[in-house]
A and B are shown apart, each in its own frame.
Chain A
Amino acid sequence: MSFLAITRATLAKDIRLEWRSKDAINAMLFFSLLVVVIFSFAFDPTAEESRRIAGGLVWVAFLFAAIVALNQTWARELRNQVLDAYRVSPAPAIPLFISKAVGNFVFVAVLEALMTPLFIAFYKLRALGPAWQLLPIALLGTWALVVNGTFFAAMSLRTRAREIMLPLLLFPLSIPALLGMVNSTTAVLTGESSPTFWIALLVAYDVVFTVACLLLFETVLEAE
């Protein structure tokens, strides 16, 4: 099978599985809804304040929620030794990684699309800067989360307490990406500064870690 065919087959399988069970997406939606509500109670912000904190809030909610999807990425393949079958199959590892990362990207993007209206309503948000810039920020930020998340989820398979291991590995490394997402979002919402530097940082982060993940994924997959 060609590179593209493997990617497409794995991706289609994952999306079909998720479409039928809706396990990850439901858990993520409910979780981020809870975050929205709890933060709203905790800070009780005015429209002006929420513009300042919303960038951080939104991304923290998505970051924690994304862990749900990321954790099940590979755990699902452990049942019936599917992952072992992948390993012994002659198919290269890279398309497997790409399909998993793209799958997670789709799940988290759907979550974001569904949650954004709620955030806007609950926090009375209105961007004072150019709002269209939020779209590239969301795309770059989501990719930054899922590319390393997918990689480290594969790594945390090989540990005890696998579910808690993923955030422990992922969060420290994600700090620059998180700073980029939060600050660029805040810059657009408040309109006080330019998000250009932060968007460039996100691009750099995405490029560096996408390349690193692609180069090193096979090593991690083969590690027993």
Chain B
Amino acid sequence: MKHGFTVLAVITAVLLSFALYTALVMAPVEQTMGNVYRIFYYHVPSAIVAFGLFFINFGASLVYLIRRNTKADMLALVCAEVGVVFCTVNLITGSIWARPVWGIWWTWDMRLTLTLVLWLIYVSYLVLRRFSTSSQTALLAAVLAIFGALDVPLVYFSIWFFRTQHPSPVMGGGGSLDPHMGYALLLNFVAFAFLAWLVCWTRYRLEVAQRAVHEAEAMQSLMEGAR
């Protein structure tokens, strides 16, 4: 197990460095935006990874509700946390890109709004976990995750309709993608997926250790109480 972790870490490091090289050097300069567009190589993969993690969070929460499996709960927690981090990266890199290209930091465009609302839902999930005094935090969190997942299609339709009623700035590009760009994007996505896997794994191990410590502490105070 320990070996697997090291191997994963090495692969991730190699992939990330090579992906960075393709994104900054190999991929050609974009016609209208120039070099600014290169932030897309971080922006798009982080979005895909974040949404993937939120999806895993939903699946794990569902499994927890049905089976009451602690591992599923820890997986849900880890995916939500790491997902929020990647979602934040996505929102911030998007903002940095929008400033020179659109001339604004933020617009209530459909995709931006949708991402922000998702981010809010998962932050509230993490807040619940942090503030819960219940001995069944996992259960409450799983229920909230289910509600969040049910909310996503409604959010999607409402914002879609909300935004198509109003004029909104056109998302960049259209047109064809240079094969080098597609390659760099794919490579960055793979690298980010590995990074997410690595971070989730680390966080999972941390969570296991933390829970063991909690249990040991509870046991100890119980023993002292009995004395």
A, B: real partners: yes
Chain A positions near chain B (C-beta within 8 angstroms): 148, 155, 158-161, 165, 168-169, 171-173, 175-177, 179-180, 183, 193, 197-198, 201, 204-205, 208-209, 212, 216, 219-220, 223-224
- Cβ-neighbour of A223 out of B120, B121, B136, B148 (below 8 A): B136
Contact B140 A155 (CB under 8 A): yes
Q: How far is the CA of A176 from the CA of B120 in the complex (A)?
A: 13
A175-B117, A219-B139, A223-B140 are contacts. A159–B134 as well, Cβ < 8 Å? yes
Report chain A residues within 8 Å CB of B65: 219
- Cβ-neighbour of B161 out of A160, A169, A197 (below 8 A): A197
Contact B135 A179 (CB under 8 A): no
Contact A176 B158 (CB under 8 A): yes
Q: How far is the CA of A180 from the CA of B157 in the complex (A)?
A: 10
What is the size, in residues, of chain B's interface with A at 8 Å between Cβ atoms?
A: 32
Q: Of the 9-residue stretches B19-27, B98-106, B124-132, B187-195, which lies at the interface with chain A?
A: B124-132
Report the minimum CB–CB distance from B145 to chain A (whole Å): 11
Report chain A residues within 8 Å CB of B128: 155, 159, 165, 168-169
How would you classify the secondary structure of chain B's contact residues: helix, strand, loop or mixed?
Answer: helix
Q: How far is the CA of A14 from the CA of B121 in the complex (A)?
A: 31
Sorted from nearest, which 5 A-B pairs have the closest CB atoms? Answer: A158-B134, A176-B154, A223-B136, A172-B120, A176-B158
Q: How far is the CA of A197 from the CA of B154 in the complex (A)?
A: 12
Q: How far is the CA of A218 from the CA of B102 in the complex (A)?
A: 49
- Cβ-neighbour of A180 out of B121, B151, B158 (below 8 A): B158
Report chain B residues within 8 Å CB of A173: 121, 124, 147-148, 151
Pull 11 A–B residue pairs with CB atoms less than 8 Å apart, ordered by A: A158-B136, A165-B131, A169-B124, A175-B117, A175-B158, A179-B158, A179-B162, A198-B161, A201-B154, A201-B161, A205-B154
Report the minimum CB–CB distance from B157 to chain A (whole Å): 6
Task: Determine which residue in A155, A201, A205 has the highest number of CB atoms from chain B within 10 A of its CB, and name it.
Answer: A155
Report chain A residues within 8 Å CB of B151: 173, 175-176
Q: Apart from A175-B151, A176-B151, list 12 A-B contacts with CB within 8 A.
A: A148-B147, A159-B132, A159-B134, A168-B128, A169-B127, A171-B120, A172-B121, A172-B148, A180-B158, A212-B146, A212-B150, A223-B136
- Cβ-neighbour of A216 out of B136, B146, B154 (below 8 A): B146
- Cβ-neighbour of A155 out of B144, B154, B161, B162 (below 8 A): B144
Contact A209 B117 (CB under 8 A): no
Q: How far is the CA of A169 from the CA of B123 in the complex (A)?
A: 9
A168-B124, A169-B128 are contacts. A179–B159 as well, Cβ < 8 Å? yes
Contact B139 A223 (CB under 8 A): yes
Report chain B residues within 8 Å CB of A158: 132-134, 136-137, 140
Contact B133 A160 (CB under 8 A): yes
Report the minimum CB–CB distance from B167 to chain A (whole Å): 14
Q: How far is the CA of A155 from the CA of B142 in the complex (A)?
A: 12
Is B112 engaged at the interface, CB distance under 8 Å to the other chain?
A: no
Contact A193 B147 (CB under 8 A): no
Q: How far is the CA of A201 from the CA of B155 in the complex (A)?
A: 10
Report chain A residues within 8 Å CB of B133: 158-160
Report chain B residues within 8 Å CB of A224: 134-136
Residue in A closest to B148 when the chains form the complex, CB atoms: A173
Report the minimum CB–CB distance from B193 to chain A (whole Å): 27
- Cβ-neighbour of A159 out of B131, B155, B159 (below 8 A): B131
- Cβ-neighbour of A212 out of B121, B134, B147 (below 8 A): B147
